[in-house]
Amino acid sequence: MDRKNFAFDKTNFILLAIGMAVVVVGFLLMTGPASSDTVYEPDIFSARRIKVAPVVCLLGFVSMIYAVVRKPKD
């Protein structure tokens, strides 16, 4: 089979995997203790969970979109 018929090349798959890993790291940054009816946990409003993790996820999704849209080199 001719390589020119493929939509993705090796670099596209690597970029896609890196983007997926960044998204997973972003979701892991969002995890932490939860509040309940009896216990209030102020960590739910930490900067890591409110600001940093969503930005990391957004960067991961943008890099995945780039990996899909990127045209393979001939």
pLDDT tens digits along 6-22: 788 899 999 999 999 99
Amino acid occupying residue 9: D
- Cα–Cα distances in angstroms (integers) from residue 23 to residues 7, 26, 48, 49, 59, in the given order: 23, 5, 15, 14, 8
CA–CA separation, 18 vs 12, rounded Å? 10
Question: What pTM, to 2 d.p., does this model score?
Answer: 0.84
Whether residue 49 contacts residue 32, with contact meaning beta carbons closer than 8 Å, is answered with yes
Instruction: Give me 32's structure tokens.
Output: 């932490």
Q: With cut-offs at 50, 70 and 90, classify the pLDDT of residue 2.
A: low
pLDDT recorded at residue 1: 57
